[in-house]
Amino acid sequence: MPVSRWKWIVLVVVAVLGLTTGGVAWAYPSVAATACPGCYGLHAAAPGIYLEKGADPAHALSTVSAATRLVESFYGRRRSSPRILICTTPTCYTSIGGGREKGIAVLNQAVMLSPEGLDPVIAAHELSHVELHARLSGEVPQWFDEGLAVVVSNDPRYLKPTGDRCLAEPSAPLPKSLPDWLRAASADPNTYAKAACQVSRWLTAHGGRDGVLRLIDALNAGQPFTTAADLP
């Protein structure tokens, strides 16, 4: 679940202005924790990977490695290198700004994983958001971003293993904005499966990864999403 580009810029500006007073740590702990993981009790287990004290580094690093392989198997060489913050207790995750989600991506800057998010599929989902946004200068609808992350992470909760992978058919237009997505996903647990269905069929019709890379190039060249994606 990514935080939008404009919000990240606003948060960074607020962080810079607020560092002298300490207000940012109270108002935007995810920004502060990304900037200073050690201030929140996280220590470096590897370059760019920070763990709550007492966590098993071998398990955490193995999870991140498996998640990275899933992203690389889709995109090839990664362009993103986010900081990854891993909590193994709810108290830690709350303290760095996490909520009820299992993990969250902050554009192409950071990934935060909750105790339930220390899983290759969940981590790959968030890393997929980061990779997409690291490559994009334009925007995609939230349903496409989320559906693509489900496909990249190969999440069995929302996709069949082979063939037409749809578990839930989209019956109406899917949410385009992050606020609308959050409302829809809270109301309907099949929202992720519907987005994954739509994206997986789009990928089949447009050449899989090559179609995504062409879409990214078209969006970066200024084309609107519906035109670049060849959607009605």
Residue 232: its pLDDT value, please? Answer: 65
49: helix, strand or coil = strand
Task: Report the Cα 83 to chain-centroid distance in Å.
Answer: 12
* CA 47 – CA 84 distance, rounded (Å): 9
Residue 8: its pLDDT value, please? Answer: 44
Instruction: Dump pLDDT digits (tens) for 73-96.
Output: 999 989 999 999 999 999 999 999
Residues forming beta bridges with residue 43, ordered by sequence position: 51
Rounded to two decimals, the pTM is: 0.87
Q: What average pLDDT score do residues 20-30 get?
A: 51
Please state, as a whole number, how many other Cβ atoms lie within 10 Å of the Cβ of residue 145. 22
